[in-house]
Structure 1
Amino acid sequence: MLALTRKVGERIVIGDNIVVTVVSIKGDNIRMTIEAPKEIKIYRGEIFDAIVAENIQAAVPNDVSDLDMLKVLTNVTKLDI
């Protein structure tokens, strides 16, 4: 982890193509811009955490019988080939 102190107008460069610039500071709030290629996904921390939690929930079957059905389907597919 890197902890930095930056003033308004100062920036941080990450790699060759990501630039974070401090735009303003008002009390406890810091406004910044992030310049990055479109293919790089940028999320606020709480949104990223929600996406991770949703992906974990989606990967867990609601019912154990779903796993049994998957075993049956896998065996049928192997036999059919």
Structure 2
Amino acid sequence: MLVLSRKIDEAIVIGENITIKVISVEKGVVKLGIDAPKNLSIVRSELLEDVKDSNIAASKEINLLDITSLSAILKK
């Protein structure tokens, strides 16, 4: 992992088309501006964890179905 220090209005460039700029720092909260192509997905890591946890929970619910119930559902 590369660790860099930046001040307000300073930026980091990733590749040719992604720029991350420090917008403000207030009470321990850093606000970042990200300039990237629209086709690039940018998601907060905690949201990815929530989706992962939801998928795991959903897969456990599916495992609770017995094969008979599944067969009945598929016939409909």
Q: How high is the TM-score relative to the length of structure 1?
A: 0.68
Which AA in structure 2 matches 1:50?
A: D
Aligned residues with identical type, % of pairs: 38
- In 2, Cα distance between equivalents of 1:59 and 1:8: 44
User: What is the root-mean-square deviation in Å for CA atoms of aligned residues?
Assistant: 2.3
Which aligned runs of 4 or more in structure 1 are off by greater than 4 angstroms? none
Moved more, 37-46 or 22-31: 37-46
Which AA in structure 1 matches 2:47?
A: I
- In 2, Cα distance between equivalents of 1:37 and 1:14: 12
Offset at residue 62 of structure 1 (A):
3.2
Count matched residues: 70
- Bigger Rg over Cα: 1
- In 2, Cα distance between equivalents of 1:58 and 1:39: 29
Offset at residue 64 of structure 1 (A):
5.5
- In 1, Cα distance between equivalents of 2:12 and 2:52: 27
- In 1, Cα distance between equivalents of 2:57 and 2:64: 12
Query: CA offsets per residue over residues 13-42 of structure 1, 9 Å max, x none?
Result: 111211100011112011110111122111
- In 2, Cα distance between equivalents of 1:17 and 1:58: 37
Pick closer, same or farther for the CA change 1:59–1:17 going to 2, 3 Å.
Answer: farther
1:65 — aligned with what? Answer: 66
1:35 — aligned with what? Answer: 35
